Amino acid sequence: MRRYYFDHNATTPVSAEVLEVLVPALLEVYGNASSIHREGQLAKQKLEAARRHTAALLHADPKELVFLSGGTEADNLAILGTVRANPSAKKHVITTAIEHPAVLNTCRELEREGVEVTYVRVGSDGVVDPADVRRALRPETVLISVMHVNNELGTVQPLAEISSIAREAGVLFHSDGVQAAGKIPTDVKALGVDLYSISGHKLYAPKGIGALYVQSDTRLWPIQFGGRHERERRPGTENVPGALALGCAAAAAEADLVTESARIAELRDRLERGILDRVPACGVNGSLSRRGPNTTNIFFDGVEGEAMLISLDLKGFAVSSGAACSSGAVEPSHVLLAIGLARERARASLRFSLGRSNTAEQVDALIDAVAESAAQLRKLSPTYTSA
């Protein structure tokens, strides 16, 4: 059975061009970038070239880029590092209710440390209102963290408007850009962010490498301790092959960003139209206009999302439910609950996220599989009644 992958927001396969860089680097660039001998200096040169390529994707100065292990560590360093570096006795952080757990759980750790956190609600479209961020400000606010593109809905948040509010208040602004970089144009200077997180495995590089943009005059304490690597922001011998892979992936994404985003958006729209035309009692969650090109989240009333996911998997299609499993119980997505969906509808939703490997033929095959699975499962559903 042939398999088709529609879960690119979870992770992406390593691309052929990245492999062409990564494999020789693993074999040949084995020196420690902190060593002064020839092998070490070669590794240092390669590391800095990777930094330049990665920074170019974000329109950042390479000196403002910190290499680390991925998006989760980048979010942790951005949030914990800035808040702990602030000398104020009383501190307050603003974030949103639809952030990735890498942000939400880091903020909960801050709460355990005595920091107050406001979780701003979003509308039914999945977009935060900048006015709500402004209203959440306090004299003791030290950081605002709002994701760029939501991982479950694909909604794009109004970062430029929020950064203007943050600058006016003298508050640092961080954004989790893991689902944005390489998919939509990303200029950290134009967006006005002070910190911006990205992850290699979301843009066809391997897992275990990511980066954090840190605007040059931002106070940031390390959250790990060791050597003086990465301008004393992230200790540990640098993952040079991983950084080279990320730099290659960033350069490839920048080169065809406009054309590839348009192609994938067309496929995403084709998928949506096909499903909505073929399957009754379903609809798209979140904004239809303010979103990235590759993601759609669709509810199927009367169907358990996990059952639909398994049915599609057996037919050769990888998709995501967006649900979390805790203590053996499947809980609906916190993002879908935050936009006002009932728990039953949230559990009946699936995320489809497209990427480079997807074609129109694959999309049409997925539409057929979704229609067939929905019909099969609804025959067994005690809650679904056809119109």
CATH code of 280's domain = 3.90.1150.10
Asked if 256 and 183 count as a contact pair (C-beta separation under 8 A), the reply is: no
Is the same domain home to 172 and 300? no
Asked if 299 and 269 count as a contact pair (C-beta separation under 8 A), the reply is: no
Q: What are phi and psi of 149, to 5 degrees?
A: -125, 130
Beta bridge partners of 299: 283, 349
Examine residue 1 and state whether it is found in any structural domain, yes or no: no
Find the domain containing 285 and state its range.
256-380
Q: Which of 255, 287, 316 is the last residue of a domain?
A: 255
Tokens, residue 299: 């509810």
Amino acid at position 133, single letter:
V
Read off the CATH number of the domain in which 120 is found: 3.40.640.10
Examine residue 385 and state whether it is found in any structural domain, yes or no: no
Examine residue 4 and state whether it is found in any structural domain, yes or no: no
Is the same domain home to 334 and 363? yes
Is the same domain home to 294 and 173? no
Tokens, residue 120: 């701003």
Is the same domain home to 309 and 211? no
Is the same domain home to 177 and 190? yes
Q: Which of 229, 255, 281 is the last residue of a domain?
A: 255
Residues identified as active-site: 325
Is the same domain home to 165 and 29? yes
Please report the pLDDT score of residue 326 as a whole number: 43
Number of Cβ within a 10 Å radius of residue 343: 11
Examine residue 312 and state whether it is found in any structural domain, yes or no: yes
Examine residue 178 and state whether it is found in any structural domain, yes or no: yes
CA distance 174 to 75: 8
Examine residue 10 and state whether it is found in any structural domain, yes or no: no
Is the same domain home to 66 and 88? yes
Is the same domain home to 329 and 289? yes
Evaluated on CA atoms 136, 137, 139, 142, the torsion sign reads positive
Domain count, the chain: 2
Q: Which of 255, 275, 295 is the last residue of a domain?
A: 255
Examine residue 29 and state whether it is found in any structural domain, yes or no: yes
Is the same domain home to 110 and 68? yes
Region class of 231: left (phi > 0), else alpha (psi between -120 and 50), else beta = left
- What does pTM read for this prediction? 0.96
Is the same domain home to 204 and 277? no
Closest CA to 356 of 18, 5, 10, 57: 5
Is the same domain home to 159 and 265? no
Is the same domain home to 146 and 55? yes
Please report the pLDDT score of residue 383 as a whole number: 72
Mean pLDDT of successive 10-residue stretches along the chain, which has 387 residues: 96 98 96 95 97 98 98 98 97 98 98 98 98 98 98 98 98 98 97 98 98 97 95 95 98 97 98 98 96 98 95 98 58 96 96 98 98 94 67
Examine residue 8 and state whether it is found in any structural domain, yes or no: no
